[in-house]
Amino acid sequence: MLINHEVALVTGAGRGIGKASAEKLAENGARVILADIDETTLAEAEREFLEKGYEVKTLQMNVADFPSIPGKVAEAKALFGAIDILVNIAGITASRPIEEITEEGWDRMMDIDLKSMFFITQNVFSIMKEQGHGKLVHMSSLAALRGGRSSDASYAIAKAGVLNLSKCFALSGAQFGVRSNAICPGNILTPMGKTLSWSQKDPKTYIPLGRYGKAEDIANAVLFYASDMSDYITGDYMNISGGLYM
């Protein structure tokens, strides 16, 4: 077991990368709070994980409902009495040419993919500071490193913000035993991935390792950053793209 009974709050845990990450943490000994906006997938994930014997609870939340965040984080803490690990995964994407991004679309992207991560992390950070330890993991993207065209510019810009958000919390958290790291997935075949144009291509023709990523490929990195295996790593990011970006 890489995680000794610590409590992990995972957003976006109803499906895709979030669900796989929640499962990876749970099977490695974490008590996991599954948070998502979608009550149906949340209930399905909870049922599935309880059947497997994992210790999980659920928290329905819209990460972009900013006034509710302090209350939701307090509710999360009350479920198991602590938050030792926060994994920010909930997010959306879009595919629009750069000329077609409206102010409304831009704001929605920034709210869900960037601003929510900042304010959830800020609230959890206070708990971790008090505890004297904590691990923060934030889902960024390959688009943060190389810009975005098929996933759109506002997405790429928000995800670039996530990389810097992670570094800011790493700098503020180091003296309190709080580490913060980010992950940059490439093309991962999840429900979101299947809506994007790259999913129609043959991965052998453009991904050096010849396949799309699986949600579990990303979950393995979440486990690494959430466990003591990465004890001397903070302010870092991992590029998990099968060689698509080097």
Nearer to ligand NAD, 89 or 178 (CB): 89
Q: Look at residues 78, 52, 58, 75 and name the one whose alpha carbon lies nearest to residue 18.
A: 58
- In angstroms, the CA 168 to CA 184 distance is 17
Choosing from 54, 155, 212, 237, which is the catalytic residue? 155
Q: Does 91 bind ligand NAD (CB under 6 A)?
A: yes
Report the distance separating Cα 164 and Cα 172, nearest Å: 12
Is 212 assigned a catalytic role? no
Q: Does 115 bind ligand NAD (CB under 6 A)?
A: no
Residue 133 C-beta: closest distance to ligand NAD, Å: 25
The reply on whether position 242 binds ligand NAD by CB under 6 A is: no
Phi and psi at residue 202, in whole multiples of 5°? -85, 115
Instruction: Kindly identify the residues of this chain, within the stretch 38-77, that bind ligand NAD according to CB under 6 A.
Output: 38, 41, 61-64
Can residue 117 be called a binding residue for ligand NAD (CB under 6 A)? Answer: no
Do 22 and 55 meet the contact criterion of CB atoms below 8 Å apart?
no
Site track 119-158 with ligand NAD (rule: CB under 6 A), x = hit: --------------------x-x-----------------
Q: Which of 2, 28, 29, 37 binds ligand NAD (CB under 6 A)?
A: 37
Closest distance to ligand NAD from the beta carbon of 14 (Å): 4
Residues whose CB is less than 8 angstroms from the CB of residue 46 and which lie 6 or more positions away in sequence, other chains included = 34, 56, 57, 58
For the chain, the straight-line distance linking the first and the last C-alpha, in angstroms and rounded, comes to: 32
| 8 Å CB contact between 235 and 181 | yes
Which two structure tokens, joined as six digits, stand for 57?
């609870």
Applying CB under 6 A, the residues found at the interface with ligand NAD are 11-12, 14-18, 36-38, 41, 61-64, 89-93, 112, 139, 141, 185, 187-188, 190-193
Provide the annotated active-site residues.
Answer: 155
